Structure formats: C-alpha cells, structure tokens
Amino acid sequence: MTSRLPSTPSRRTVVKAAAATAAVPAVLPLTSPAHAAGTPPRAAPAVFRHGIASGDPLPDGVLLWTRVTPTDDALPGSGRGPDTQVGWEVAEDREFTRVSARGETTAVAGTDHTVKADVRGLRPGTGYWFRFTAGGAVSPTGRTRTAPAADAPADRLRLGVVSCANWESGWFSAYRHLAARTDLDAVLHLGDYLYEYATGSYPKPAEVVRRHLPEHEIVALADYRLRHATYKTDPDLQALHAAHPVIAIWDDHEIANDAWSGGAENHTPGAEGDFAVRAAAARQAYFEWMPVRASTEGTVYRRLRFGRLADLHLLDLRSFRSQQSGLGSGTVDDPERTITGRAQLDWLKAGLAGSDAAWQLVGTSVMISPVAFGALPAYLLAPVAELLGLPKEGVTISTDQWDGYTDDRRELLGHLAGEGIGNTVFLTGDIHMAWANEIPAKAATYPLSGSVATEFVVTSVSSDNLDDLLNVPPRTASVVASTAIRAANRHVKWVDMDSHGYGVLDITAERSQMDYYVLSDRADRNATAAWARSYRTLSGTQKVERVKAPVR
C-alpha cells in the first residue's frame, strides 16, 4: 500500500532474550518523548480514560471506537451514568483543518457508554487522523488508514500480528513497539485479547505481575465489561489502538477456556449458570468494547480486501464448533464433527475460490497444520501438552486445534488443491509459540505429497510458554522439544517455544514474509524488542524458506 501517514490452563514466569530497539522505526508523533524512552504516555482526559481506537478498514471507511465516563460513578459494567452526546471527527491533517467527516452519537448505559462510528465516504488508501469530543472534553488524537480500492493494484501490505495477551502475566510491551512503527497498514489480533480467569489462576499468585479487575473469574456481562475496561487502561494497548486500525477475531479466552458451541472447559454448569447466557454476555461485551464489525450472524467471521493484492478471510472457530473429542479417539475423523460450522466453511470456500487477489490470507485462531508429538520425552510432554491443549499422558493430536476436526481440514485443503487456489497463507495465534509451517496435502506422506498452503504462527504477547511453565532458562528444554517436534513433523520448518513478542507480515505480489520479533522480558514494562527470524513464501510455491533479514 502507498500514501502512508507522515512519520513522527495453568501457566508460569519471566522470559529473558537479548534485545535492541534498532530495528524498530521512529516513535509515533502522538506520543510524548518520555513515552519514546519507555515511560507511559500522557494520561487521556478522564472522560476518555479508556482511549480511542479504529478498526476494520474499508476502501471508503473505517470503524471508530471510544468509551466515555460521563460521571465518576459511571464505571464500566455499573449500568450507571447519563446519556452523553459524543462527537467525532476524521481529518486529513493532525490539526483538523481539513476535516473529511464528522458526526455525533449518544453514549448510553445500555451499551456501557461505548461508542462506535462506522465512518464512510473516505478516500481509499489514505491516512487519516481522528478524535472524539464529549462535554467539552477532547480525546487524544489517533491515526487510522483506509484500505485501497477493491480493484487497485496495491503494491504492498504490512500488518502487525499479535495474540494471547494476559494482563497478570506481564506487560504489553509488544503493543508499544508496534505502536511506534509508522510503516503498518493495520494490526491483526488473532485472539485471546483478554483472559477470563480469576486473579492468581493464571499465572499462579506468586507470579502475578499486576492484578486485573474484577479479581474473580468473569461470568456475567458486568464482569466481561470491567475486564475489557481494565485491559484498555494499559498505556501500551491504548497507544496501539491510537496508532493503527486493529483487525481482531476472538479465540476462547474472550469467553472461557476451550470454548465450543455448547460449553467450555472453564465453565461449570449450575455453579456458573447457563453457558449460552455466559457466552452471549461475553460476545456482547466484546462487540461493545472492540473496534470490530459484527457479521450478519453476530460473530467475527468476515472478509476484508486490500486491493488486488490480498483478501483477508477472518474466522470464528469457537461459536460453531463441536465439543473437543478425547485425544487418541477416532471421533476426530467423524464427518459430523466441525470446527467451522457448515455455513462458515462454505462461505470460506466460496470466498477463496471467487477471489481474484494475488494472496489469500486466512486469520485462524488455532493452528491448522497437523502436529504429532510421539517423539517427545516424557518430562517435556506435560508442559508442551499444556500449551497445546493436549493431555499430559501423551498423544499425537491436539483436539482443540484443527487436528481435532480432521474432516473439516481435509475438505478445506482438498478445496485449495482441487480448485488450484495458490498463495494461501494461514495466520495463527493461540499456542504461545512462533512457528513457520508448510501445510501438507497429506501429512503422513509429506514431502512427497507436497503442501497446499503455508502457515505463520505468532507467539504470545505475555501468556506463558514453555520456559515459563517449566521455570527454566530459555533455549534449554525447548531445544529438545522443538527438535523432537520437527523430526516428527517435517513440514514444520521452525518453532520458537520460549519467546514472547509479535510478528510483522509484509506482502508484495512476489512474496509473503513474516518477520518475528521477541521481547527482552515480559515482566519489564520497558522491555526492548529485537528481530529474531524471518520466513517467507514465494508466489506460486506453497513453500516456506528462511530469510536472513527483516523487511525494511
């Protein structure tokens, strides 16, 4: 893309990785010099204490979001506070002398005083500034960007990619480093934006870096609202939302661990009420508090287009799935079981087949590449199994991922092969590790059977990974585990089981490249970030290869 804005469950502890900030571009103009040195930005006005955001960019528009606190007692989830008129403006310059759109809406207690403005009539592929006003208060200024025209021959797309941010496990430094970049078109959040656990449940009490609110496990609508609000007081998360449009999907922890259509591992019927009521509350709070457009079905699966360069197909892999089967059970192959639901899978297949974009990007919250763990030593199997949702006894399939729903995967991969749909890249979060995978047509016969797509998995922002669970130094136990995984799964080209961080996906007509960045210490609110590795897939190949430098 061109015409950019001007520059200006039970888990464990601390990551250490060598880092430097030389690879991170200049700090945003909307943060103070003090924040550039790692201190929090200036506080937002009390009325706008949860920041501002934009999301889901279209060629002619973008979704704006904020939450107002009209009175001191109008706290998130309280149901209190008067109706409040909120104005919004979108301009081509930061001084708002060239206003492109403005409007007004009302923040009410019924939607927790959150505000969304779906702004249209903007120019494609253009950077804008935006802000809100309420009762004489003016919000911080944010910047956003529209997508290129649907038929435009866009030359480049660059996305920050993140997942799995647990408030109690550490600071959100990954967001700060992405906010500081001026070269991103948007940030893709692949799920687990927040976690539902009670304080001290994850991580254990001695390892809690900061306590969230409410302190009990969130179950009711007021609980989910307050937890969202707590996350949005983080200065690095606020900086991210003010700097770039965010494109988000949910995974399980926005509702409850290992959620499926009729329940969740972390839900006790009776003691915690009806799961359908809990899930409805979680989804309502999500759409109130996130800059996300709901699909017509009231879920997050939807499609965004970035000119003729890329279509981005975003999936909801929690609302329609069957219950996870027992590991080692042949029911994983049952064609009646689904991870997508029939309607969503048909929608995805039709969108992939009908697209004329150079690249097909699929945002999936859980890993689609098959993974077997038969070669892992017993002492490593338990923590790796915990990260991947496997039982500690040791089996070869994670039934919370696509491995537990093999008929859907066979149908989708068969569709890619049968329709000749190339240049398909799955973008994944969930498992607190970074991976670069080829997706085999038939895992058992790879590489003879070839691959039909590629997959880039980003690690967690702060949630526990292998060295945290084992409480050992990085690059110790993980060396054994990753070697065993790659030996048993030759389509896995790389896996990092220890680091926290983020990815930057850079796409041109010739290739898609993921640059992986790691944080120095998730428990350090001023953590540095350093480039770790890069992998790419060239147009027409369905192969993953290592690259020796990040995209500049």
Regarding the domain delimited by 49-59+166-547, which CATH topology (the fold level of the hierarchy) does it fall under?
Purple Acid Phosphatase; chain A, domain 2 (3.60.21)
Q: Tell the residue number behind the tokens 């790879």, with chain if given.
A: 446
Going 429 to 435 to 436 to 437, the CA torsion angle's sign is negative
Beta strands in 146-266 (DSSP E): 157-162, 186-189, 246-248
Integer Cα distance of 178 and 445 in angstroms: 39
Residue 425 pLDDT more than 90? yes
Residue 12 pLDDT more than 60? no
Give the other-Cβ count within 10 Å of 132's Cβ. Answer: 27
CATH architecture label of 60-146? Sandwich (2.60)
CA distances from 98 to 103, 110, 117, 132, 483 (A): 15, 34, 19, 16, 57
Share of the chain above pLDDT 90, in %: 77
DSSP state of 263: B
Residue 282 pLDDT more than 70? yes
Integer Cα distance of 245 and 254 in angstroms: 20
User: Please, which pLDDT band fits residue 331 given cuts at 50, 70 and 90?
Assistant: confident
The predicted structure's pLDDT at residue 389: 55
User: Please, which pLDDT band fits residue 435 given cuts at 50, 70 and 90?
Assistant: very high
Pairing mode, if any, of strands 310-314 and 302-306?
antiparallel
The predicted structure's pLDDT at residue 332: 83
Residue 99 pLDDT more than 80? yes
Helix (H) or strand (E) holding 485: helix 477-488
- 375 vs 472: which has the higher pLDDT: 472
Query: Is-same-fold flag (49-59+166-547; 60-146)?
Result: no
The predicted structure's pLDDT at residue 55: 98
Mean pLDDT of the chain: 89
Per-residue pLDDT tens over the stretch 126-163: 999 999 999 999 999 999 999 999 999 989 999 999 99
User: Please, which pLDDT band fits residue 326 given cuts at 50, 70 and 90?
Assistant: confident
> If DSSP codes are grouped into helix, strand and coil, which group holds residue 358?
coil
User: Please, which pLDDT band fits residue 448 given cuts at 50, 70 and 90?
Assistant: confident
Maximal CA-CA distance, the chain: 67
Residue-range domain boundaries for the chain: 49-59+166-547, 60-146
Rounded to 5 degrees, what angle do the CA atoms 110, 112, 118 make? 90
Peptide linkage before 153 cis (omega within 30 of 0): no
Pairing mode, if any, of strands 99-107 and 359-364?
unpaired
User: Please, which pLDDT band fits residue 443 given cuts at 50, 70 and 90?
Assistant: confident
Q: Which residues are within 8 A (CB) of 55 and not within 5 positions of it... i.e. 6 or more apart?
A: 62, 63, 65, 245, 246, 247, 248, 290, 291, 292, 293
The predicted structure's pLDDT at residue 262: 98
Rounded to 5 degrees, what angle do the CA atoms 409, 414, 420 make? 135
> If DSSP codes are grouped into helix, strand and coil, which group holds residue 305?
strand
DSSP state of 2: -
The predicted structure's pLDDT at residue 442: 82
Per-residue pLDDT tens over the stretch 161-170: 999 999 999 9
106: left (phi over 0), alpha (psi -120 to 50) or beta: beta
The predicted structure's pLDDT at residue 488: 83
